[in-house]
């Protein structure tokens, strides 16, 4: 199952969720109507049937309004995305520039998996008071995602195990599970609020005396019963959906890291240590479906996760229950310490624990700037959101190869904006002069000078490092005040449109930065999985194929043939002429938002066509591959850093 199939599956689950909860809500409304009829003697005693029907209609509307408003309120309280969930659970943000040994290891693992996956680096939090081993990912989209781990996970897991847990959570980010998880929180709260109202009425009715006091008690008690019964069935729905997705996330973690010992080792520690994965926070139940392991003790029927032994045996079929007993006995005598295991297993990469990173000669692990690779549409589609072992190795090389001065700028509040603006600068010449003019007209000269200085520092940066550097900078950028982020978006727009001759990659990078900032400012509505059919977006798709064919071929005679080949891949029966747009930037501004709204399987076919268009000459340069990755990212299709394993200089 590839990324697009998983996205389509997540959409089917969302529809299933809506249907199941609609049934649950209707049943709850019917139960409330029945309670009112019983409490007040049929609501029509001594009155006409019309009065009874009117009263039932009114109670139905009121019940629906209460459930709907409560659900909307709870969802709105989480509209800032993953950070809102982390903060409500009491998590602490891990600073981007932390020098703490354990926290630096966590950030490095998260950053490398993000680079390998082709998504923005998420915010990272720690539940400092929780000694159990657990983690969760929350948010509406990758741009506002937050990864949270417990202190117990940091202390007890070695690097392989921590990587397995984080890869598991990244699968939820990539598969579209996070938005569904937040919807679950809101929907369940909407049903629960009926029980809360009933309980409040019971508490206050004790002190009142009146003719209808008995009926009022009956209604209140009925609301409590109906609310908790509805919540019970809602939790059953939540548990069923969550268990299915947890199996998929375990499998994805293995697929990501290409080894089972990491995630299976973490699961063994969950099962073998007395702390397990149970959290002390009172909010654990509400968010139980988000956690890596069960956040609290639940019955098998209500459990949001499959049994631990079942999860382990799916990863290691030969694993026996007796082995878990032996591990538990050993750990009771000598509790595991993750950092000690790292040292014994040689798992701590150079420079991870706050030591000096090696010089940028680590670019030896990157492809030569003038190299090219042979790619095929199926191989690229298979790589989307599915990093391979080579992608992780290259992510480590990329992480090490980014110069220290740029890494510090990406993590420092005062430097992140000038550094990103420097990344958008064209080479010296008229275009750069126009960009500087726009900067000086819209911001103070200090920022413009700093951006120009960073542009010079970035001139020799390997093309494969530009997108990862922007990804590293994003958590720092998104924590700036909203007015500054709005100003940053204006600056980026001005820079990429300073001259129509600007480099296409710089345009796409600028557009990608603006899109990510927009999503961070309003996560709940900024991006949702699309529903547009490919045949309804023919004209925009043709334009994008034209741009990729033109950008991927230096010889003007090759571009039309590449366009026709890409078009045939996407629209086999369509005949269209190769007509490069006069205003390429304007054309992309018009088509990328439309194509971002395609349904998953339509995006898959479009990506195949783009691969054909950009690689029709048989090879793809590093710059062309970065352009393809940037366009894919603008379409919310995360592409890992390596497009093929074999490259020729």
**Which residue from 215, 211, 223, 214 is spatially nearest to 43, judged by alpha carbons?**
215
Angstrom distance (rounded) from CA 267 to CA 278: 13
- Torsion sign across C-alpha atoms 324, 326, 328, 330: negative
With H, G, I as helix, E, B as strand and everything else as coil, classify residue 454.
helix
Helices (H), 118-176: 151-156, 159-174
**Residue 532 contacts by C-beta under 8 Å, 6 or more apart in sequence?**
594, 597, 598, 599, 602
Using an 8 Å Cβ cutoff, are 33 and 235 in contact? Answer: no
Using an 8 Å Cβ cutoff, are 191 and 234 in contact? Answer: yes
**Which residue from 205, 333, 348 is spatially nearest to 273, judged by alpha carbons?**
333
Angstrom distance (rounded) from CA 473 to CA 439: 20
492 to each of 408, 436, 441, 512, 628, how far by Cα in Å?
21, 12, 13, 10, 20
Question: Cβ atoms within 10 A of the Cβ of 78, count?
Answer: 23
**Which residue from 486, 474, 497 is spatially nearest to 416, judged by alpha carbons?**
474
Q: Has 169 been annotated as catalytic? A: yes
Using an 8 Å Cβ cutoff, are 415 and 473 in contact? Answer: no
**1 is written with which tokens?**
């199952």
Q: Is 518 left (phi over 0), alpha (psi -120 to 50) or beta?
A: alpha
Angstrom distance (rounded) from CA 643 to CA 464: 11
**Which residue from 161, 117, 152 is spatially nearest to 312, judged by alpha carbons?**
161
Question: Which residue pairs from 329-337 have beta carbons closer than 8 angstroms and sit at least 24 positions apart in sequence?
Answer: 331/269, 331/272, 331/273, 332/274, 335/156, 335/273, 336/156, 336/157, 336/158, 336/269, 336/273, 337/155, 337/156
List strands edge to edge, sheet with 620-621. Answer: 620-621, 372-373, 647-648
Measure CA of the first residue to CA of the last residue in the chain; give whole Å. 33
List strands edge to edge, sheet with 146-150. Answer: 92-93, 123-127, 146-150, 135-138
Largest CA distance in the chain: 92
Angstrom distance (rounded) from CA 345 to CA 352: 15
Question: Cβ atoms within 10 A of the Cβ of 499, count?
Answer: 17
**Which residue from 356, 488, 494 is spatially nearest to 416, judged by alpha carbons?**
488
Q: Which DSSP category does 134 fall into?
A: -
* Residue of 169, 352, 519, 604 marked catalytic: 169
Q: Is 384 left (phi over 0), alpha (psi -120 to 50) or beta?
A: beta
Using an 8 Å Cβ cutoff, are 390 and 642 in contact? Answer: yes
Angstrom distance (rounded) from CA 255 to CA 547: 33
Residues labelled as active-site residues: 169
């Amino acid at each position: 199952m590839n990324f697009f199939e998983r996205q389509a599956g997540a959409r089917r689950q969302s529809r299933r969720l809506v249907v199941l909860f609609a049934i649950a809500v209707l049943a709850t409304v019917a139960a409330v109507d029945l309670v009112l009829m019983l409490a007040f003697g049929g609501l029509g005693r001594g009155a006409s049937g019309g009065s009874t029907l009117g009263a039932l209609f009114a109670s139905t509307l009121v019940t629906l309004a209460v459930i709907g408003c409560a659900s909307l309120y709870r969802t709105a309280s989480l509209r800032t995305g993953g950070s809102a969930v982390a903060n409500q659970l009491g998590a602490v943000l891990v600073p981007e520039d932390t020098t703490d040994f354990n926290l630096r290891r966590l950030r490095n693992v998260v950053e490398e998996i993000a680079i390998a996956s082709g998504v923005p680096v998420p915010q990272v939090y720690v539940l400092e008071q929780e000694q159990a081993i657990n983690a969760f990912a929350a948010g509406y989209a990758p741009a506002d995602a937050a990864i949270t781990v417990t202190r117990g996970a940091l202390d007890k897991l070695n690097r392989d195990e921590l990587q397995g847990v984080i890869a598991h959570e990244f699968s939820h980010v990539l598969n579209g599970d996070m938005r569904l998880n937040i919807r679950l929180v809101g929907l369940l709260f909407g049903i629960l609020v009926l029980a809360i109202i009933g309980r409040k009425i019971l508490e206050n009715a004790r002190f009142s005396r009146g003719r209808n006091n008995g009926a009022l008690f009956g209604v209140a008690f009925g609301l409590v019963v109906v609310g908790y019964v509805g919540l019970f069935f809602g939790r059953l729905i939540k548990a069923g959906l969550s268990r299915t997705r947890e199996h998929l996330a375990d499998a994805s973690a293995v697929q990501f890291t290409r080894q089972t010992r990491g995630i299976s080792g973490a699961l063994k520690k969950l099962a073998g240590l007395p702390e397990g994965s149970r959290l002390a926070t009172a909010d654990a139940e509400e968010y139980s479906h988000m956690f890596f392991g069960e956040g609290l003790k639940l019955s098998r029927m209500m459990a949001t996760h499959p049994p631990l032994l079942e999860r382990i045996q799916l990863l290691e079929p030969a694993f026996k229950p007796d082995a878990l007993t032996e591990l538990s006995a050993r750990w009771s005598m000598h509790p595991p310490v993750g950092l000690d295991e790292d040292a014994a297993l040689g798992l701590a990469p150079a420079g991870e624990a706050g030591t000096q990173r090696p010089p940028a000669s680590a670019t030896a692990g990157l492809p030569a700037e003038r190299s090219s690779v042979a790619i095929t549409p199926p191989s690229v589609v298979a790589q989307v959101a599915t990093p391979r072992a080579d992608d992780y190795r290259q992510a480590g090389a990329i992480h090490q190869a980014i110069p220290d001065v740029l890494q510090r700028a990406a993590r420092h509040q005062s430097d992140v904006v000038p550094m990103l603006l420097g990344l958008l600068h064209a080479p010296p010449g008229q275009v750069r002069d126009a960009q500087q003019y726009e900067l000086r007209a819209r911001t103070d000269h200090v920022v413009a000078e700093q951006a120009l200085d960073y542009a010079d520092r970035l001139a020799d940066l390997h093309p494969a490092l530009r997108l990862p550097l922007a990804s590293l900078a994003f958590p720092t950028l998104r924590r700036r005040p909203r007015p500054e982020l709005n100003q940053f978006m204006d600056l980026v727009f001005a820079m990429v449109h300073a001259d129509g001759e600007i480099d296409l990659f710089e345009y796409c990078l600028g557009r990608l930065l603006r899109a990510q900032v927009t999503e961070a400012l309003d996560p709940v509505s900024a991006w949702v999985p699309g529903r547009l059919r490919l045949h309804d977006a023919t004209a925009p798709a043709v334009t994008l194929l034209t741009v990729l064919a033109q950008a991927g071929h230096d010889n003007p005679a090759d571009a039309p043939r590449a366009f026709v080949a890409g078009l045939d891949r996407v629209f086999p029966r369509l005949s269209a002429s190769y007509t490069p747009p006069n205003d390429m930037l304007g054309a992309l501004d018009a088509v990328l938002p439309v194509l971002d709204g395609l349904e998953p399987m339509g995006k898959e076919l479009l990506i195949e066509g783009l691969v054909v268009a950009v690689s029709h000459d048989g090879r793809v340069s590093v710059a062309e591959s970065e352009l393809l990755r940037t366009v894919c990212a603008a379409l919310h299709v995360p592409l890992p850093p390596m497009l093929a394993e074999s490259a020729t200089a």
